Amino acid sequence: MTGGDLGFEHVLERGTSGGTLLLLHGTGGDEQQLLSLGRDLAPRATLLSPRGKVLESGRTRRFFRRHGPLDLDIPDLLARTDELAGFITAAADAHGLDPGRVLALGYSNGANIAVSLLLRHPETLAGAVLLRPTLPYAPDTPPRLDGKPVLVLGADRDPYVPRQRYEDLLAALEGGGADVTAVRRHAGHELTAADIEEAGAWLAAHGWR
């Protein structure tokens, strides 16, 4: 099922488990980018995949603007995080999804807006799989994550995620009470087979397969 009536062009593929994976694509992707990965990782979950609205240089799609690879447009990110939170709530209502069983699976730019959702609208997510994320901004106060499970998959050769930003992300999540599993591989920004295996095992351990 595809549509754009809830504020975002999106794809919905219904599953049987009662849980929903919110798929948040990386820079240059779209609502199709993570569908096959999501289905492989969580075969019984419903997949909800919105398309980012920002076009960089007129062609590269993202969820929020940036001024440079390591210089994010924070006011735009905050506004678009609020908009995405509204979409999640509206989609759950429109499609009959359990709003307490939405877990984000985000890569790169999509992982960063998933982090922003956890910091700014933690009530919208039951947890998250964050693939190559950074901490986009320091929260004014610790988020109330209350034991939400979060998997963080980083890489020590990722040019977009300095080591300190990675460590700051873990500190922010743990400071908010999240149940964080963190793995930092000897790899770059692209995902590896080991990342996919790790994510699948984590999802299975947390009841998402």
Rg, Å, the chain Cα set: 15
Q: Which of 108, 146, 179, 186 is catalytic?
A: 108
Give the pair of three-digit tokens for residue 199: 């994510």
Residues of the chain with pLDDT under 70: 1-4
Residues 175 and 26: their CA atoms lie apart, in Å, by 26
Q: Is the dihedral of CA 70, 75, 76, 77 positive or negative?
A: positive
Residue 58, Ramachandran bin (φ over 0: left; ψ between -120 and 50: alpha; else beta): left
Q: What's the pLDDT at 70?
A: 86
Q: What's the pLDDT at 3?
A: 59
- Catalytic, 36? Answer no
Residue 176, Ramachandran bin (φ over 0: left; ψ between -120 and 50: alpha; else beta): alpha
Global pTM reads 0.96
- Catalytic, 108? Answer yes
Q: Which of 10, 25, 116, 158 is catalytic?
A: 158
Domains and CATH numbers, the chain: 2-205 (3.40.50.1820)
Q: What's the pLDDT at 2?
A: 63
Q: What's the pLDDT at 197?
A: 97
- Catalytic, 67? Answer no
